[in-house]
Amino acid sequence: MKYIDPHIHMVSRTTDDYEAMQAAGIVAVIEPAFWLGQPRTNVGSFKDYFSTLVGWERFRASQFGIKHYCTMGLNSKEANNEAMAEQVMELLPQFIAKEGVVAIGEIGYDDQTALEDKYFRIQLEMAKEYDLPVLVHTPHRDKKQGTLRSMDVVKEHGIPPHLVLIDHNNEETAKAVLDQGFWAGFTIYPKTKMSKKRMVAVAQQYGSAKVIVDSSADWGVSDPLSVPKTAALMLENGVSKADVEKICYQNALSFYGQSGQFNEADWNQELTVDQADLHLGNSVLRGQQAEKLSFKKEN
């Protein structure tokens, strides 16, 4: 089977992770803009980070046979620094229209403050202006209220639910999200958020319509192979192969395909990588002999 990890923070991961992901069948990843674990101190940090998402990280993934895409946005946690947030709002249009940007995100709420609400709404309007889907981050605290509030705000701004992925769901929020017509993302973590076993139960209860699994793997305790591992456990527990393929591949393709920049043809062919290729003078090699590698994509 082929897999898409539609929410993973590869700037925090190693080349070993890329190799393991490719070997496990992951053909494409989407990297949402998010925070780095500590506050950025100037807008130049955002500019360099956004440049990395559309530049170096896209190149680095390609060297391991994986297609890399990203979403652009100011994360909810850093929206609480108003002076910085205003500068990021001015910066974002420089990156939103770049190649490989498939949505606005991840945006939404963290502590559900007034400033988080302000910049959530501003970025929803950007999504409308640039005709892009939206990836919504739901808060880790008071998740149910934050999720319901997020959907209400999206609807206030006139964005149809089929253009919005509500992520980091759990058993408490899944029904409300799906009943209102939004796409429902589920993050599989080793010890927090959703476990693989719990995700199997969600799939058995709700089926595969608009349900998406991701790893959200970052600098914390997380697993970049969560998508294929969850798929395997679903199959072991009687979830049909057709449903697993939708949850772990096709639904992400359908949702982000609405951007016009996320197409199966981009990766559904044999890919030849020349390790002598450089990005801004740099490569993933460290004194190794450059090779030409072939990655055959199985249909």
The answer to whether the beta carbons of residues 204 and 239 sit under 8 Å apart is: yes
Question: Tokens for 28?
Answer: 């494409």
Average pLDDT, the chain: 94
Question: Domain spanning 3-280: which CATH class is it, in words?
Answer: alpha beta
C-beta pairs of 170-175 under 8 Å, 24+ apart in sequence: 170/143, 170/194, 170/198, 171/198, 171/201, 171/202, 172/143, 172/144, 173/138, 173/143, 173/144, 173/147, 174/202, 174/205, 174/206, 175/206
Question: What is the model's pLDDT at position 46?
Answer: 97
Share of the chain above pLDDT 90, in %: 85
pLDDT per residue as tens digits for the range 221-230: 999 999 999 9
List the domain boundaries for the chain: 3-280
pTM score:
0.94
Model confidence at 102: pLDDT above 90: yes
Task: State the DSSP string of 71-83.
Answer: EE---TGGGG-HH
